[in-house]
Amino acid sequence: MAADEVLDAPDELLEGPVELTVDAAGVGQRLDAFLAERFARHSRVQLRRVIGAGGVVVDGEQRKAAYRLRLGERIAIVVPEVPRQAPKSEAIPLDILYEDDWLIAVNKPPGMVVHPARGHWHGTLASALAHHCDQLSTVGGPARPGIVHRLDRDTSGVIVVAKNDRAHLDLASQFERRTTEKEYLAIILGTPDRDRDIVTQPIGIHPYQREKMAIRAGHSTTRQAETFYEVQQRFRGFALILARPKTGRTHQIRLHLAHVGCPVLCDRLYGGRAQITLGEIISGREDDRVLLDRQALHARRIKLVHPQTRQEIEFAAPLPADMTQVLRVLDQHRGLTHAS
């Protein structure tokens, strides 16, 4: 099971002794920074403690956290165990699109984290599911019951959750083999010069910003990524696009759209702004009312094969109110035309 395909995560957990070889990208890096890039679920503080306790050796010698690496050096590390706490059951309302004994499809609202993580221990989708469901799959571990794939916190839309291990393994296999169909809607800043295109660019961990990914070739974390997009509506300075990711890399759609010069509107990481006001859209009006304060990305549809019936099944979530409002204002004040 490929972690970046199934969980959309670059920071797969590795347990037991691990050996790494310093490649060209790692030359000159501090030892702790090099390890932090490759084991992103562990903080640099945790890794420094492991280094200080003698849990890391470089070419057979213990080194300090600040040691600068050289090409070809071999690093042996015993990766510390990450605490795994089951989500606390919380009575959080769910917008359920479909449910049976095998799976549940939910329309996740923006602002909700999928599973517990550092800084987000409460109010997660996993906590809401723990309260709603009598049983969830255990394949993902106690911290991720039922979670087969993820959505970013500020991305809304369809997410499918497995209720038992057989369903989880089957769905995970579908995601890994890329037989599922995922469809997103995004409001973007700028207008593409084509009505439709395929972006094929490799994605890896950002070289110095841990929360970001980057278009990056030749790094140990790099994976090939492909996104098809098609313009649905054009406005002056904005557009609504439909995106179908063929692969499932972390931040893939957001990063690929930013790469072609049309970042998702209000994408703090890749678009340079976290919100937009009414006055910024309506020319000549001073109005500082916030129209949108999260990335304008919505998982509209997922199509897959039901793990029990083997019949194709599709789940769709309507566009949320905040994105609908932005489109209404754009239509009124930015001159809408349809893609050809």
Indicate which residues carry an active-site annotation: 152
215, 255 Cβ separation under 8 angstroms: yes
**Among 16, 40, 37, residue whose Cα is nearest residue 220:** 37
Dihedral-angle region of residue 237 (phi above 0 means left; psi in -120 to 50 means alpha; beta otherwise)? left
Question: Which class for 262: exposed (0-12), middle (13-18), buried (19 or more C-beta within 10 A)?
Answer: buried
Q: What number of residues does the chain have?
A: 340
Query: 258: which 2 tokens?
Result: 């930013």
Largest CA distance in the chain: 67
**Beta bridge pairs of residue 188:** 239, 264
% helix / strand / coil in the chain, to the nearest 5?
Answer: 20, 30, 50
C-alpha 291/C-alpha 264 separation (Å) is 15
Q: How many of the other CB atoms lie within 10 Å of CB of 133?
A: 16
